Amino acid sequence: MKDPVARKSLLYERNTYHQPCSTYTQPIIIVEGKQQYMFDEKGKRYLDLFGGIVTVSVGHSHPDIVRVAKQQMDKIFHTTTIYLNNEIAQFGQELAAKLPEGLDVIYFVNSGSEANDLAMLMSRAYTGNYDFISLRNGYHGMSYSMMGVTALRTWKFPVPQGFGVHQAVNPNTYRGPFGPEVKDVGKKYAAEVQDLINFSTSGQVAGFIAETIQGVGGSVVLPDGYLSAVYEHVRAAGGLCIADEVQCGFGRLGTHYWGFQTQGVKPDIITMAKGIGNGIPLAAVATTKEIAATLTKRIHFNTYGGNPISSAIGREVLKVIDRENLQKNCLERGKQFIDGMNKLKEKYSIIGEVRGKGLMLGMELVKNRDTKEPATPETLQVMESCREAGLLIGKGGFYGNVFRIKPPMCITAADVDFALEVLDHSFSKL
């Protein structure tokens, strides 16, 4: 692929027969990955700060993940869930052991979109209510119904809100109406949810869904006390509370294994995907026996969800996270990143805010710190400069002006130093 003609042909085929490449002006051809690094067709190494959109949790081509996948492939690729299989059964048990007591019924599916679809179905079936509440600038998937729940208007198709979905104000203390200095700021934002229940619904709702830290939305951290107040409002209106852990879960936030634990709440339903399978199509929904019983009134199954290969890989991911102390590494490397990015903020006025927890971090760029005008073109310029230096970084936020830093959880202290040096150099070129 070093031949420029062959490279041009590959780009033509991608843009003709698939969705176009658009992240970089010069698309990267990735042919190999190893832990926190990826390599292009010329052998150039890149430090991956995006983890395949937070999908690669324990590392690209982790040897233990590869080993168990090969072992399972030698046995059987696939069975539907109408048959018993030890990998599926044991994965369910081991995953439930990581969850709060009582949330021990697991449904395996293929993606976060499917998981959130199922969670919404459960909520409506169990409560008998229809109205649903989500957050503006949240992200919950690419299926039609989830695009109706997702309130991003930059990349998503504007699905009409015919699904009975009502969207609460984004509790963003940087851009929202209440800043971090406001007393009980979490409760202030939660009052918007109560207003929606009172004035936009019948007074009864099916459920509420939120990420603890908005991923695609730009690494927005929910203010302390927000979820506990919202959960109280929603449950009083007959609804269930769903924690979307697709990007926050499995130790990535450092201090806790699950994102919702940082808010001191216990959801009724938990959805998870991406890092659960380290890049394999795998997702899950966890709930109580009482809520799950609702689905037994009809036939429910998933053709590929929880197949033996995915289950074997999912089991090993849990073991690797514990064995390699990756949650602790997220905490330590996250602090190193935050400290380094705050130093860059002191040096470059274009950095408006640094935020996040563990290895789910964000850096928002603005043209002016007073007006907070988004520095969207500059964000792309810095991204390109980082790519040239061997650093791959994600972007998000409503205006596309937030760097999303969510690397594989095995990233080292030396890697963080390198990343900060590259960012420093790239900002200096603006």
pLDDT in tens, 357-395: 999 999 999 999 999 999 999 999 999 999 999 999 999
Whole-angstrom distance, CA of residue 320 vs CA of residue 275: 12
Q: The tokens of 90 are what?
A: 């044991």
Q: Residue 319 is which amino acid?
A: K
Residue 298's pLDDT is 81
Residue 160's pLDDT is 60
State pLDDT tens for residues 77-117. 887 777 788 999 999 999 999 999 999 999 999 999 999 99
| CA count, 13 A, side-chain hemisphere, 339 | 9
State pLDDT tens for residues 20-63. 665 677 788 899 999 999 999 899 999 999 988 889 999 999 99
Residue 319's pLDDT is 98
Whole-angstrom distance, CA of residue 197 vs CA of residue 25: 45
C-alpha distances in Å from residue 201, one per residue of 38, 132, 165, 411: 48, 9, 10, 46
Q: Residue 403 is which amino acid?
A: F
Whole-angstrom distance, CA of residue 258 vs CA of residue 98: 9
Percent with pLDDT over 70 in the chain:
92
Sign of the CA dihedral with 409 first, then 411, 416, and 422 last: negative
Q: Please compute the mean of the pLDDT values over residues 175-194 and round it to a whole number.
A: 96
Q: Where do the structural domains in the chain lie, given as residue ranges?
A: 4-58+325-428, 65-323
What lies within 8 Å, CB to CB, of 32 at 6+ separation is 38, 39, 61
Q: Please compute the mean of the pLDDT values over residues 324-331 and round it to a whole number.
A: 98
Residue 199's pLDDT is 92
Counting beta carbons within 10 angstroms of the beta carbon of residue 390, is it exposed (0 to 12), middle (13 to 18) or buried (19 or more)? Answer: middle
Q: Which superfamily does CATH assign the domain made up of 4-58+325-428 to?
A: Aspartate Aminotransferase, domain 1 (3.90.1150.10)
| Strand 402-405 with 360-365, pairing | antiparallel
Residue 218's pLDDT is 93
Residue 161: is its pLDDT beyond 80? Answer: no
Whole-angstrom distance, CA of residue 322 vs CA of residue 411: 15
Residue 192: is its pLDDT beyond 70? Answer: yes
Q: The tokens of 126 are what?
A: 């169990």
Band (318; pLDDT cuts 50, 70, 90): very high
Q: Compute φ and ψ for 209, nearest 5 degrees.
A: -130, 140
How many Å is the maximal CA-CA distance in the chain?
64
| Strand 45-48 with 391-392, pairing | parallel
Band (344; pLDDT cuts 50, 70, 90): very high
Q: Residue 170 is which amino acid?
A: N
Q: What is the DSSP string of 283-337?
A: EEEEE-HHHHGGGGGS----SSTT-HHHHHHHHHHHHHHHHTTHHHHHHHHHHHH
pTM score, two decimals? 0.93
- The overall average pLDDT reported for the chain is 92
Does 3.40.640.10 match the CATH number of domain 65-323?
yes
Percent with pLDDT over 90 in the chain:
78
